[in-house]
Amino acid sequence: MSAPNGGIPSEEEKNFFNSVQIPFPEVIDGKIDTLQFLESSKGVASLIDKFGKVFGPVKYDMTGNIEKLTQRYDTNKDKHMYLNNMILSEKELGGNYATDALLWLRRALHFIHKFFHCILEDSRQGKKSEDLIPFLKKAYKETLEAYHGWMAQKCFGLLSRMCPSRSELMRTLALGRENREEAVLREMAIFLQGLDSNIQAIIQLYLENDLESNAKV
């Protein structure tokens, strides 16, 4: 959470990504710090709550899974210092409480990552599309759709129509300020790098230990 020059952001430079959101932890040797990951995930959940009803189900699901992981972490903070240790120790015991929670939290975070990535790429191409619904649908199709049954997919289709416009989203990310898009996008890119490294590490963990599930909800 710093300004472009590495210092503390000024009031003018402040936006969600550099003054509210806690960065996702650095992945070291494939391991993810549990507490920082959970705190960072809480920040994303609080952010999407500001986007309106379209993100309501995602926020609700994320919050529930964060709470489950926090409960498991609290049972042995030293042993569960890293997400990897917490998940693998549960696998040894034959449980899936935290494993299932992290699986769905990762998918929700991946959805948000894809949505923001589409916005970022659109901006880099100089388009700055005001209608974000196509980006929302693309992100959903690439991350969550395969794990949702017919009813959940229909529900998302209806809610997606209430997606905020680009201007509304940028104003939210700029903490209510106007004309801060360049700074917001710059910090968004940095945030997405950290988020992506966590997502990919979790995907790798699950693939290596045969923990993935294709079950639908």
Take residue 95 and report the two structure tokens written for it.
Answer: 């449980």
Least confident of 12-21, 53-62, 119-128, 175-184: 53-62
**What amino acid is encoded at 179 in this protein?**
N
Name the residue ranges covered by the structural domains of the chain: 28-208
pLDDT digits 0-9 by tens, 96-106: 999 999 999 99
CA angle 198, 41, 18 (to 5 degrees): 90
pLDDT-derived band of residue 5, with 50, 70 and 90 as boundaries?
A: very low
Q: What is the CATH number of domain 28-208?
A: 1.10.3520.10
Residue 155 pLDDT > 90, yes or no?
no
At residue 55, the pLDDT reads 74
Chain-centre distance for alpha carbon 108 = 6
At residue 153, the pLDDT reads 87
Q: What is the mean pLDDT of residues 37-59?
A: 85
